[in-house]
Chains A and B, each alone.
Chain A
Amino acid sequence: DGGITQSPKYLFRKEGQNVTLSCEQNLNHDAMYWYRQDPGQGLRLIYYSQIVNDFQKGDIAEGYSVSREKKESFPLTVTSAQKNPTAFYLCASSFGRNQETQYFGPGTRLLVL
């Protein structure tokens, strides 16, 4: 089955620790996106990538980093510089930019110990 997967479903981070959230898609999509959602809020864009080996900052990129070494994968690292990392993180992909429908993964909930 084609789809987009995220792992783990729940992730716990200790103070000062970097953690990496996985996002994989087998839809042959060129573009991938990371969003953050806080309780009662809409989604905010962290980073996006339109093609392999290229990515751009979204609206709230500070404290996060990404890589896009493979078309299928777009991991997000939450660094220790992100002072308020507790949130629901959603990964999405689409065939390309410009009005293409985005397909979302099931999300990863990050909690700080």
Chain B
Amino acid sequence: DAKTTQPPSMDCAEGRAANLPCNHSTISGNEYVYWYRQIHSQGPQYIIHGLKNNETNEMASLIITEDRKSSTLILPHATLRDTAVYYCIVIGWRDDKIIFGKGTRLHILP
């Protein structure tokens, strides 16, 4: 079973920031939070990952709460091309496989 809980779908207006939440209340100290996204009929694409500090790259920002039980992926200026299913995944250093849940289907509204 996936170790994360995400809302099944979200809407966001084009040009606004999209904030995608993820709950991982059972996360342990050596587990990272990863985000992938899957545009329709394509393979998933890595976005960002973090352990406990907030992270930012050219695609997105990842905000992890101090207790690490939840996180938020932020797409700062959403475009129509960001329409996709976003997967939040928790991975431990002992894990040799990752488990994808159902993710959040993000709709960007023009």
Cross-chain contact B100 with A43 (CB below 8 angstroms): yes
Q: Please encode chain B, from 23 to 42, with 1 for each CB lying within 8 Å of some chain A CB and 0 for all others.
A: 00000000010101000011
- Chain A at the B interface: mostly helix, strand, loop or mixed? strand
Give bound CA distance, A44 to B32, whole Å: 20
Tell me which residues across on chain B come within 8 A of A59, comparing CB atoms. 99
Q: Is the CB of A50 within 8 A of B41?
A: no
Closest to A50 in B: B96
Q: Are A42 and B97 also in contact (CB < 8 A) when A99-B32, A107-B42 are?
A: no
- Out of B42, B43, B96, B103, name the residue touching A42 (CB < 8 Å): B103
Question: Of A13-21, A63-71, A75-83, A90-98, which binds chain B?
Answer: A90-98
Number of interchain pairs (Cβ within 8 Å): 63
Chain A: minimal CB distance from B84 (Å): 13
A109 to B34, CA, bound (A): 26
Docked-complex contact B102 and A90, CB < 8 angstroms: no
**In the bound complex, CA of A109 to CA of B91 (Å):** 28
Stretch at the interface among B12-20, B44-52, B61-69, B71-79: B44-52
Q: Check if B97 sits within 8 Å of A33, measured CB to CB.
A: yes
Chain A contacts for B98, CB-based, 8 A: 45, 102
**Which residues on the B side are within 8 Å of A104 (C-beta)?**
43-45
Residue A8 lies at the interface, judged by CB distance under 8 Å to chain B? no
- CB neighbours of B96 from chain A (8 A): 31, 48, 50, 56, 97-98
A41 proximal to B (CB < 8 A): yes
Residues B42 and A106 in contact, CB atoms below 8 Å apart? yes
Question: Does the CB pair B95–A41 fall under 8 Å?
Answer: no
CA distance A107 to B41 in the complex (A): 8
Minimum CB–CB distance from A108 to chain B (whole Å) comes to: 10
Smallest CB-CB separation from B101: which chain A residue? A42
What are 18 A-B residue pairs whose CB atoms fall within 8 Å in the complex?
Answer: A31-B96, A35-B100, A40-B102, A41-B102, A42-B87, A42-B100, A43-B44, A45-B97, A48-B96, A50-B96, A90-B43, A92-B43, A97-B97, A99-B32, A99-B34, A102-B36, A102-B46, A107-B42
On B, residues with C-beta under 8 Å from A are: 2, 32, 34, 36, 41-46, 49, 87, 91-103
